[in-house]
Copies of this chain bind each other. A is one copy, B any other.
């Protein structure tokens, strides 16, 4: 598991586009490169457009370009736009409120890798791919 399939798709799309930012991509061209079911890909693209990552232009020579500089687009934001990042924050055991007084041993055990994950996605932008 880790992240949802839709998150994977969103990352795949935007990281691919980031390699040639400035360039305009059509849904068709993205479909040919990335292995994502076409209609689902198209729906996702309008979602990403609504989320403000990319701008869509319709019509004969339309397509998608980044709406913002890729230096400002964090992985956490991408993931959060298609699934709830909050679900990564909570208790490993899925307790919405911690049932014990002081943190159980499992809490500490999980804390390190969880923080490593969250830190990474919160501090890394699409631009970092090009380094």
Residues of chain A touching chain B, judged by Cβ–Cβ distance below 8 Å, are: 1-5, 7-9, 11-12, 15, 35, 75, 83, 87-88, 92-95, 104-106, 109-110, 112-114, 116-117, 119-120, 124, 128-131
Contacts and interface: CB of A to CB of B under 8 A. Distances in A.
Given A1-B83, A83-B1, A93-B8, A131 B105 contact: yes
B131 A11 contact: no
Number of copies: 2
Given A1-B2, A1-B3, A105-B128, A8 B113 contact: no
B106 A8 contact: no
A58 B59 CA distance: 68
Given A105-B130, A109-B124, 20 more contacts: A1-B1, A1-B4, A1-B83, A2-B92, A2-B114, A8-B93, A9-B94, A11-B92, A11-B93, A11-B106, A12-B93, A12-B94, A15-B93, A75-B109, A105-B129, A105-B131, A112-B120, A114-B117, A116-B116, A117-B117
